[in-house]
């Protein structure tokens, strides 16, 4: 377990800022307790200071996971967000998409979001913007990237893709062994 | 009608264009500059600073403009133009003079022997064709491969040898040799430079050799993993990665990540959503 280097922080923040923009500040600079991002086995974890101090006495090989896993660095040093970060993404998301109940299931099986399933979308969402996906009852279901801007989605056919799937809470079942 | 009074009042509104100065000014009109060496009136400078400076500047400017009107003037479509003279002020160069290049081996030899360089023109007259040809280079007179259609075989030489290819080979060899000399001259110059800086040429060469050994060692199929180490071979030290401690300076870490964040989010400039702002304004 170690802090992220400058380059790693840059890559990580760049990815994270696609979803929550400058709200990352609220993750770094919290009023309640000091929270840290730490790298462990190529995965980035978000944890409180108390938890980190406890975990420091555990050996690297023995420590499996701690805190909230935000995602992992790939072998080519890109950053991939995991669904486990959804809590924080949903809390601070800048752009949101709500999907209708009939679309929830297909999304949770890893499919893209179609125009037919689109319930609501934040105004002025640009193209290729990271968005958090909610059900109509405001339960965060995952996140993805918009295929079209808000204005353009109005002209689309019902079978056209509105947002590309990146992660959904179905992964808690499908990818249990690699997720945390 | 007497207009002399009106003229007088009109004239008194403006100052005279003649300015009196005890020491005449020096001008460099190419820079539109005048240099006044007269002493300033200190009492006025102290008590009535603003007015005095204004007057002083006006006088100086008037003098320069007077000078400009003395220059040869031409009028064209663009207006009336004065032709400025050549610049007389010498401005010092920004950078120091380049250091002399260290002499090559030939230059040193020539100096020792007292050989002097005689300037030769590049073109020479070819009497056979009656044309001027370059002494060297493309279509030069010393490019012997193109000129001769026949080469007599020298005595005591193998008659079946191809004299053309022999000549070609010899030229190639000369080129290679010259390149080696050029390289040697550069190395010598570098060594001299290092010596003047106090860097030992021997240790420099040693470090370079060690680096080359280290590089060549990895040039096997196993990246040097199964090679037997040489006797007295220095152990290679790689670059060690260094990370911050897990529990370090909280403030510093926070500041660092906030700085990085500022760079990332700042450059996008998404503080204001322009479209939304315009929509709000138009409501």
The phi, psi pair for A166, rounded to 5°, reads: -120, -45
* Secondary structure class of A138 (helix, strand, coil): coil
Question: CA–CA separation, A6 vs B243, rounded Å?
Answer: 10
pLDDT of residue B144: 66
Per the CB < 8 Å rule, is A6 touching B264? no
Query: A37 vs B257: CB contact, 8 Å cut-off?
Result: yes
DSSP class of residue B3? -
pLDDT at B146: 64
Average pLDDT, integer, range B14-22: 85
Q: What is the pLDDT of residues B68-102, one digit of tens each?
A: 999 998 998 888 889 999 998 888 999 999 988 88
**C-alpha span between B137 and B141 (Å, rounded):** 8
Mean pLDDT, residues B153-168 taken together: 89
Residue A146 has pLDDT above 80, yes or no: yes
Any chain A CB within 8 A of the CB of B97?
no
Q: What does the pLDDT read at residue B269?
A: 54
Section B158-169 average pLDDT: 89
Q: What is the pLDDT of residue A112?
A: 92
Q: At what angle do helices B163-197 and B105-113 cross, to 10 degrees?
A: 90
- pLDDT value, residue B52: 93
Which CATH fold would you assign to the domain A2-88?
A: Nuclear Transport Factor 2; Chain: A, (3.10.450)
Q: Which residues of A touch B242 (CB under 8 A)?
A: none
**Predicted ipTM of the assembly:** 0.81
Residue B244 in contact with partner chain A when CB distance is under 8 A: yes
The mean pLDDT value of chain B amounts to 86
Instruction: Report whether CATH 2.30.130.10 matches the domain A95-175.
Output: yes
Instruction: Kindly report whether the global pTM for this prediction surpasses the value 0.95.
Output: no
Residue B1's pLDDT band, with cuts at 50, 70 and 90, is low
CA atoms within 13 Å, Cβ hemisphere of B148: 12
Residue with tokens 């005591």: B156
Q: What are the residue ranges of helices labelled H in A21-138?
A: 24-28, 49-55, 86-92, 101-108
Contact A69, A58 (CB under 8 A): no
B-chain residues within 8 Å CB-CB of A1?
A: 246
Name which of A157-171, B120-134, B147-161, B258-272 the model is least confident about.
Answer: B258-272
Chain A residues whose beta carbon lies within 8 Å of the beta carbon of residue B248: 3
Enumerate residues 6+ apart whose C-beta is below 8 A from B135: B120, B121, B122, B123, B124, B141, B142
B278–chain A Cβ distance below 8 A for any pair: no
- Measured CA distances, B30 to B12, B84, B85, B263 (Å): 33, 5, 6, 47
CB-based contact B243 A3, cutoff 8 Å: yes
Q: Domain limits of chain A? A: 2-88, 95-175
Each residue's pLDDT tens digit, A97-121: 999 999 899 999 989 999 999 888 8
The Cα B66–Cα B87 span in angstroms is 18
B180 membership: H or E segment, kind and range: helix B163-197
- Taking CA–CA distances from B247, the nearest residue in chain A reads A53
Closest-approach residue (CA) in chain A for B273 = A124
SS3 B73: strand
Any chain B CB within 8 A of the CB of A5?
A: yes
Q: Residue A103: what pLDDT?
A: 87
Report the distance separating Cα B40 and Cα A149, nearest Å.
71
- The answer to whether B48 touches B38, Cβ cutoff 8 Å, is no
pLDDT tens per residue, range B204-243: 888 888 888 888 888 888 888 888 877 877 777 778 888 8
């Amino acid at each position: 377990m170690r802090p992220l280097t400058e380059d790693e922080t840059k890559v990580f923040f760049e990815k994270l800022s696609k979803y929550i923009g400058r709200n990352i500040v609220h993750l770094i600079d919290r009023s309640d307790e000091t929270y840290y991002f730490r790298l462990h086995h190529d995965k980035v974890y978000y944890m409180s200071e108390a938890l980190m101090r406890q975990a420091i006495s555990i050996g690297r090989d023995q420590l499996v996971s701690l805190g909230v896993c935000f995602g992992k660095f790939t072998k080519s040093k890109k950053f991939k967000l995991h669904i486990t970060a959804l809590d924080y993404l949903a809390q601070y998301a800048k752009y949101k998409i709500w999907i209708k109940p009939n679309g929830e299931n297909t999304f949770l099986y890893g499919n893209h979001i179609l125009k037919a399933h689109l319930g609501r979308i934040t105004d002025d969402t640009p193209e290729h913007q990271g968005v958090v996906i909610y059900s109509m009852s405001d339960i965060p279901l995952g996140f993805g990237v918009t295929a079209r801007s808000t204005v353009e989605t109005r002209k689309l056919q019902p079978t056209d893709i509105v947002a590309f799937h990146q992660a959904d809470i179905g992964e808690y079942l499908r990818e249990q062994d690699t997720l945390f | 009608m007497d207009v002399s009074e009106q003229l007088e009042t009109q004239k008194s509104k403006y100052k005279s264009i003649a300015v009196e100065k005890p020491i005449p000014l020096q001008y460099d009109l190419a820079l539109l500059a005048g240099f006044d060496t007269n002493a300033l009136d200190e009492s006025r400078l102290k008590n009535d600073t603003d007015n005095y400076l204004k007057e002083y500047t006006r006088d100086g400017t008037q003098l320069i403009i007077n000078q400009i009107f003395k220059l040869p003037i031409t009028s064209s479509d663009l207006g009336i133009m004065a032709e400025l003279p050549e610049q007389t002020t010498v401005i010092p160069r920004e950078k120091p003079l380049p250091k002399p290049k260290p002499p090559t081996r030939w230059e040193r030899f020539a100096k020792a022997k007292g050989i002097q360089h005689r300037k030769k023109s590049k073109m020479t007259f070819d009497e056979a064709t009656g044309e001027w040809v370059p002494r060297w280079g493309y279509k030069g007179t010393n490019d012997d491969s193109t000129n001769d259609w026949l080469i007599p075989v020298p005595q005591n030489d193998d008659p079946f040898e191809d004299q053309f290819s022999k000549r070609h080979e010899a030229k190639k060899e000369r080129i290679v040799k010259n390149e080696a000399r050029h390289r040697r001259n550069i190395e010598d110059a570098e060594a001299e430079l290092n010596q003047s800086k106090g860097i030992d040429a021997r240790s420099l060469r040693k470090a370079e050799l060690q680096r080359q050994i280290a590089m060549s060692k990895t040039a096997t199929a196993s990246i040097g993993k199964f090679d037997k180490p040489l006797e007295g071979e220095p152990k290679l030290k790689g670059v060690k990665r260094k990370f911050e401690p897990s529990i370090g300076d909280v403030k510093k870490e926070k500041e660092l990540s906030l700085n990085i964040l500022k760079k990332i989010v700042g450059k996008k400039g998404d503080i204001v959503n322009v479209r939304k702002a315009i929509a709000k304004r138009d409501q």
